[in-house]
Amino acid sequence: MNWLKEQMGGFGATYRRELGAYFATPLAYVFLAVFLLALGLFTWEASRFFDTGSADLAPFFVWHPWLYMIFLPALAMRLWADERTAGTDELLLSLPLGMPGLVLGKLLAAWTVAGVGLLLTAPMWLTVNFLGSPDNAAIMLTYLVSFLMAGAYLSVGAAVSALTGSQVTAFVISVVVAFVFTAAGWPLVLSGVKSVFGPSVADLVADFSFLTQFEGAQRGVLEMRAIVFFIGFTAFWAVLNGLWAARRRLG
């Protein structure tokens, strides 16, 4: 217990510091405004929601992976790179704080902002209930899995931010990595992989795709493999985050 307490030391302070930094500047407000605007436009216009004749949020959730791929690396790129820009990284890493506490504090602060963004989409949920009788349990499930998926995208951005020390570089690399894990489940990509390497390799590639893992939740089906995948993926990149940040502490 003492070891765990030591490793998680600074978690609360880091979380409050990072969350306050988001809302003390226009960053969180700009992110939320642009994210909600983009999500609304893609849902109502690109998916032609009112032409579907169905009172559900399927046209809304289908855009989550693609928008997360762009917006969440932008939200996470500052987590560690900003420390180097401000010249506070050496001070932060020299403090007697556990690296897991620092990593989780920063990651959960960004995850909280993303969660606020999801909560602010509640009017869309209310709209479909006004228009018809959707399966609210299925919608709640999809929101939950979407929130877990958001953490996976953020973990990539946070880890790359610790590796590069540059916000722009972290954003570009994170988007590329996120695109790979998103587009891996795209039918066009899978058909190409299948034709070249065979169906078994295509199935393996699909299993590592956010699109594939999120698909079950979009159908209102609770798949434990998706929950385990997103939690495990987030944990894997959080470990990389800690290792890359620790390297700077030792260096």
- What does pLDDT average to in each consecutive run of 10 residues of the chain (251 residues)? 58 86 90 92 72 72 93 91 65 63 91 96 87 85 95 96 88 95 83 82 85 88 90 95 76 52
Q: Domain spans of the chain?
A: 2-250
Q: Which residue has the tokens 């939200």?
A: 75
* pLDDT score recorded for residue 58: 82
Cα gap 10→13, rounded to integer Å: 5
* pLDDT score recorded for residue 214: 93
Task: Answer for the pair 134, 56: CB distance below 8 angstroms, yes or no.
Answer: yes
pTM reported for the whole predicted model: 0.90
* pLDDT score recorded for residue 153: 97
Q: Tokens in use for 103?
A: 């990593």
* pLDDT score recorded for residue 247: 74
Cα gap 177→170, rounded to integer Å: 10
Helix, strand, coil percent content, the chain, rounded in steps of 5: 85, 0, 15
* pLDDT score recorded for residue 160: 94
* pLDDT score recorded for residue 134: 82
* pLDDT score recorded for residue 250: 52
Question: Furthest-apart CA pair in the chain: how many Å?
Answer: 60
* pLDDT score recorded for residue 56: 73
CA atoms lying within 13 Å on the CB side of residue 249: 17
Task: Answer for the pair 34, 71: CB distance below 8 angstroms, yes or no.
Answer: yes
| Cα dihedral value 136, 138, 143, 144, nearest 10 | 120
Cα–Cα distance list, 25 to 31, 99, 120, 188 (Å): 11, 26, 19, 41
